[in-house]
Structure 1
Amino acid sequence: MAIIKQAARQTLGQLIGANNPVVTVPDDSQRQYSWTKKEVDVYWGDIMKFKESRDSGKESASEYFIGPVVTITADSVQGRSLLDGQQRLTTSTILLAAIRDILWQMKSPESMSSANNIQRDYIARKSGRKEPMEYFLVLSLFDRDFFRDNIQDWSEITGECSKIEGATRPSHKLIQDAYSNFHNKITFLLQRHPEDDSRLDFLDSLRECLINGLVFVEIQTPNSSDANEVFETINSRGKDLSTVDLVRNFLMEKSTGDHEKYRVNDAWRSLLDDFERREEIEKFLRHFWVSRHGDVKSHSLYTTIRKDLTVHFDKRPQRYGVGAFSAELEGAAGRYAELITGSTGHGEFDASLGEIKAMGADALYPLLLSASESTSYDGLQQLVDAAISYYVRWTMVGRRESTLLEENIFDIAKGLYRGDSIESALQKIVAWIPDDETFKSDFSEASISKQSQARYLLAKIEHFLRAENDVSEEVVLGDGKVYVENIYPHKPEKGSMLDDHDAWVGRLGNLTLLAGKKKSDLSNQPFPEKEHLYSGSALLVSSHTKVESLWDRAKAEWRVEGIEARQMNLASVALNVWPSFGSL
């Protein structure tokens, strides 16, 4: 049970104001800035509603409770270490910085003086010309320098920040976006106030709402262990919490010394640098665990990781500690980044990784992550080809239960981590691939609703036809290169709609690829009006697969039989594109 020293009411000005203990986000806990436009807009909307009520003079609207913050306030420690509340305090500081800069840009003595006051009282100040800057909110190592250079290190002479540190991480870009968002919103509202006095009144009222109106409850704890317990309890049902944050906090809690804490931070620095989006880090963490331990759902991932690692970390003598786990995590992150971006440097293998991305077949990544730990990428080509055939035949075209495929793939991944051979993994996958007769039957009746999947299937057939006809290669997988065309249109002319229209318009036999920009004005026309798009196309899947059979020239109407016949022909080709590997 966590020990709570006290829970005290604090305004924003009392938390991050001058002459109060500095609030520091410790390097051994918390995360980088993560609020997107969605969260920033909600925060702004709440502030505007509160300001409107407060300006009305209602006593009940004098304060706005924005939630709890958790701090470590041991008697022997100066300042406050922040365990929960970083996103709200950082965003509030960014908003104050936007108000500061707009005041300065007004260039009147009063506005520039107000800008200086905001900077000195609530963001950062120097007690002397040669003294170092004192920052009232100190972020963790991942964002600290960038936040200072772009938000806090502000010159009272130029009215600008130094901006030495560039945006190198996703969190940096989010800080920039939040600032620009606030700056634009305030600038827009000031258009209603043409006079400087009115603008100053508005900005001063907004500052007052933030500094004295926003109210937190600061939950003070004596040490990091108690703070982490309170942090997890408060956030257990909220969006503000992520598995990545909790795992890092847990590792810091279990670290036996500074060297292990440094190892955790090194691993997390790699995670932030290897991936462009936070969602990719979340996905990697789950896939890393799945690749070693089998299936676990996202909602129970942290609980599972904590329970399993606690058993190892608490053993005496300890054989597997925080440092070892962090090193494994860091090593796997680099390989995972190469897998999801198709940047291993092995051309054929990277092309296969491009297929996985085009299909959205994320379930295959744990398999490849586990396999790549002991085998070079060029030794995994047959495994990835078989896995792709399995995914296409079972899930994408066959529409069978995807959870069974995932369970099978994850189980193989766990086996590889524990010493199974690539050959045994390959044999298991091949045994699960639906046979040719089943696949051909599935393909001949398949409808594909996702444009990305339809594009992938048709593009792979296009590649096969080009190779078979000795036509020079053309890249057709990427967005912007080609588009999926419904030959029989989504919105046919009046009187030409097929019976059971919805059942036929998405059938693979009715889909093809065309290069360039989609010609919307022709897409819904009768076949004769757009026949030239297909016959004149450089793409063989349009010009060489009997698209014309979908139209009855004598009756001037669409033919269901034509869709069925073309789809059966495509199914025959598909048997070669995604083979069963039955001879292995």
Structure 2
Amino acid sequence: MIEAHQHTVSEVLGDRFLHEIPPYQRPYAWTPDEAKQLLIDLVEAVGASTDEPYFLGSIVLIRPKGQIAGQVVDGQQRLTTLTILAAVLRDVAVDEREKAALTSVVYIEPNPFAGQVEAVRVKAHDRDRGFFKDSIQMPGATAKSEPSHEPKNEAQELMWENAQALRSLTLELPAAERQKLVAFLLTKCVLVVVSTESRAAALRIFRVLNDRGLDLSNADVIKADLLDKFNDAGEMAHQAERWREFENDLGRDEFEGLLENLRFIREEMRSRRTLSEAYNERFHGVGANVVREFFDKELAPAHRQYMKILDGDSSDFPADLRAAASEALAGLLLLPNRDWTAVAIAAALKLGQTPALVQLLERLEGLAWIMQLGRRYDTQRLNRYVSILRGLKLGAGEIEHALTPTGEEIADAWSSLNGPVYGRFPTRVVRAMLERLDRLMAEQPVVWEGQKTVEHILPQNPQDGSWTQFSEDQRETITHTLGNLVLLTSRKNSGASNMEFQNKVDVYFGLGAAKAKKRATYASAQELAHLKAWDHETYADRHRRHTRMLAARWRIPMPTSVA
């Protein structure tokens, strides 16, 4: 049976309910900006002077009939933040009645004469429960300059940061306005509490809320469905903790990406369903043993390989293979899409850290860049990756066939590589190509997280009377090609864009009268320092070297007329 009733905050956090965040729930994730926005919205609502209740959303509970304690299936972010706000308001209150009203919705003091033991209204995650109680819920906790003990994870950090952010805002309010806010929060703000005794029913509601676009991810729904297969509470908590560790290691978005990659590897096709629907269909009607096997033999090893791939980490390879593996991963990670990752995961799980895997990654890098240069759309790329996944199952001959580009793909890739890449591709793709080139040219590749600028050596719009060594036809042909582009490690200097070559070089390297900070860090820029002039012959030599270097790396055979 499902029941839904509207309750005020003082009721939801009062004697009629006791809320526990179950182990399968994701960690607390509201940021200070979100917490402050909640308070700002409440303050504005107080000033609106309306008799209508202020709706704060809904929560979903699994609550056995006749009991006050319930597990929070949806709404833990909201309940946790409301508890933090109430604790902050309690700790700045000067009126004892106001303080008592706020304390009652956060913390229950022990009273041996009344037979009352110490309790809290909201029990946080197991691993956050002690921190939340001591640093937030205990009377006076949020008024301290530091939490009760050092936060041990991001959720605890956010709990304390939100408390401090809300405290700063509430202290800016006059006492009379704070008291109006407290009365409004406790008596005028309402939530719809949806309760059911059935975990399955609660999860159905959970999925409906997700489909309607509330703050639940596919991974949240999948986790709830899978953990529900475990009847043993201890094992459920253990598997929930493993899931949380996987998600924390990768980050929320990348973890969902891992789940999608596993789906793609298994189904070998693009899905027309949501990710949660795909997993619900896969695990429908199965028992704990099947889910346990998925965690142990699929999710855990894939999680490790995916982390290594995203970090470009080749440390698991034998020493003589690490450099080649690292170089292949670096080339793949520079691609503007990630649809190749399913193949890399499947290959790593199938082949292990072997020469065969290194060779596959190198071939995969070349094929992926050939499809990028040939502007193959995502369905074409995914179909090719499906062929490689099938080849992994069938043997070396099928893999070789799937990794070999067609003649048309090679011709299209070479045409793009040898042509006006700057006008043909977004700047981020050109920048990635130049970074890949630098890794091939440099003894020690540049690691630069700051601004990267693609600069034209021969300007796009030279001033009249300048750069006369190039004809109009030559300028039109070469301006946007690889040989005329250079990657710099700082924001573009518009004052240098139209300078003559030697003056540009002075700006790039901070030489002569130029006062600029040195920007020519990349190897392809460093080589300009040794040139006296920039003419068509110099350009042609540089363009030839650079295009051939990338073509060799990506296994793009050059046309006979060029070779």
TM tier, smaller: 0.7 to 0.9
CA distance in 2 between partners of 1:71 and 1:538 (Å)? 57
Q: CA deviation at 1:22?
A: 0.8
Q: What does residue 206 of structure 1 align with?
A: 181
Answering whether residue 382 of structure 2 is matched by residue 386 of structure 1, we say no
Pair 26,581 (structure 1): closer, same or farther in 2 beyond 3 Å: farther
Q: Which residue among 342, 347, 358 is the counterpart of 2:312?
A: 342
Q: What does residue 474 of structure 1 align with?
A: 444
Answering whether residue 510 of structure 2 is matched by residue 541 of structure 1, we say no
Q: What does residue 182 of structure 1 align with?
A: 166
Cα deviations by residue, 1:300-347 (Å, 9 ceiling, x for unpaired):
111111112215x16xxx9x5221122232332222222212234143
Answering whether residue 264 of structure 2 is matched by residue 290 of structure 1, we say yes
Q: CA deviation at 1:452?
A: 4.4
CA distance in 2 between partners of 1:134 and 1:292 (Å)? 47
TM-score, structure 1 length as denominator? Answer: 0.78
CA distance in 2 between partners of 1:509 and 1:132 (Å)? 77
Pair 408,152 (structure 1): closer, same or farther in 2 beyond 3 Å: farther
Does the 8 Å CA contact 2:414/2:556 hold for their aligned counterparts? no
Partner-residue secondary structure (3-state), 1:485: strand
Q: Which residue among 493, 502, 506 is the counterpart of 1:520?
A: 493
Q: What does residue 353 of structure 1 align with?
A: 329
Pair 233,482 (structure 1): closer, same or farther in 2 beyond 3 Å: closer
Q: Which residue among 236, 245, 251 is the counterpart of 1:261?
A: 236
Map 1:555-566; keep pairs closer than 5 Å: none
Partner-residue secondary structure (3-state), 2:404: helix
Identity of aligned residues (%): 21
CA distance in 2 between partners of 1:227 and 1:502 (Å)? 65
CA distance in 1 between partners of 2:462 and 2:47 (Å)? 52
CA distance in 2 between partners of 1:158 and 1:435 (Å)? 65
Q: What does residue 197 of structure 2 align with?
A: 222
CA distance in 2 between partners of 1:511 and 1:203 (Å)? 60
Q: Which residue among 409, 413, 431 is the counterpart of 1:439?
A: 413
Partner-residue secondary structure (3-state), 1:359: coil
Does the 8 Å CA contact 2:5/2:193 hold for their aligned counterparts? yes
| Structure 2: tracts of 5 or more residues without a match | 512-519, 559-563
Partner-residue secondary structure (3-state), 1:475: coil
Q: What does residue 301 of structure 1 align with?
A: 275
Pair 435,284 (structure 1): closer, same or farther in 2 beyond 3 Å: closer
Cα deviations by residue, 1:158-182 (Å, 9 ceiling, x for unpaired):
746753252424x444434433443
Does the 8 Å CA contact 1:447/1:506 hold for their aligned counterparts? yes
Q: Which residue among 403, 410, 415 is the counterpart of 2:379?
A: 403
2:385 maps to amino acid? I
Q: Which residue among 279, 303, 321 is the counterpart of 2:290?
A: 321
CA distance in 2 between partners of 1:377 and 1:478 (Å)? 28
Does the 8 Å CA contact 1:8/1:218 hold for their aligned counterparts? yes
Answering whether residue 6 of structure 2 is matched by residue 32 of structure 1, we say no
Q: What does residue 243 of structure 1 align with?
A: 218
Instruction: Report which stretch shifted further, 424-433 or 503-512.
Output: 503-512
Q: CA deviation at 1:184?
A: 4.3
| Structure 1: tracts of 5 or more residues without a match | 105-109, 194-198, 467-472, 553-558
Cα deviations by residue, 1:380-435 (Å, 9 ceiling, x for unpaired):
1111111111111111x22222321123214433653xx44466424411245866
TM-score, structure 2 length as denominator? Answer: 0.81
Does the 8 Å CA contact 1:154/1:161 hold for their aligned counterparts? no
Q: CA deviation at 1:153?
A: 3.8
Instruction: Report which stretch shifted further, 217-226 or 324-333.
Output: 324-333
Aligned Cα root-mean-square deviation (Å)? 3.9
Q: Which residue among 16, 21, 24 is the counterpart of 1:20?
A: 16
CA distance in 2 between partners of 1:154 and 1:506 (Å)? 66
Partner-residue secondary structure (3-state), 2:180: helix
CA distance in 1 between partners of 2:376 and 2:521 (Å)? 34
Does the 8 Å CA contact 2:301/2:349 hold for their aligned counterparts? no
Partner-residue secondary structure (3-state), 1:122: coil
Partner-residue secondary structure (3-state), 1:310: coil
Aligned residues: 532
Q: CA deviation at 1:362?
A: 1.4
Q: CA deviation at 1:95?
A: 2.4
Q: Which residue among 95, 104, 111 is the counterpart of 1:121?
A: 104
Partner-residue secondary structure (3-state), 1:394: helix
Pair 204,32 (structure 1): closer, same or farther in 2 beyond 3 Å: same
2:166 maps to amino acid? F
CA distance in 2 between partners of 1:119 and 1:550 (Å)? 76
CA distance in 2 between partners of 1:566 and 1:444 (Å)? 12
Pair 335,75 (structure 1): closer, same or farther in 2 beyond 3 Å: same
Pair 334,144 (structure 1): closer, same or farther in 2 beyond 3 Å: farther
CA distance in 1 between partners of 2:259 and 2:142 (Å)? 46
CA distance in 1 between partners of 2:192 and 2:260 (Å)? 34
Q: Which residue among 79, 83, 104 is the counterpart of 2:69?
A: 79
2:485 maps to amino acid? L
Q: CA deviation at 1:521?
A: 5.3
Map 1:129-144; keep pairs closer than 5 Å: 133-141=118-126, 143-144=128-129
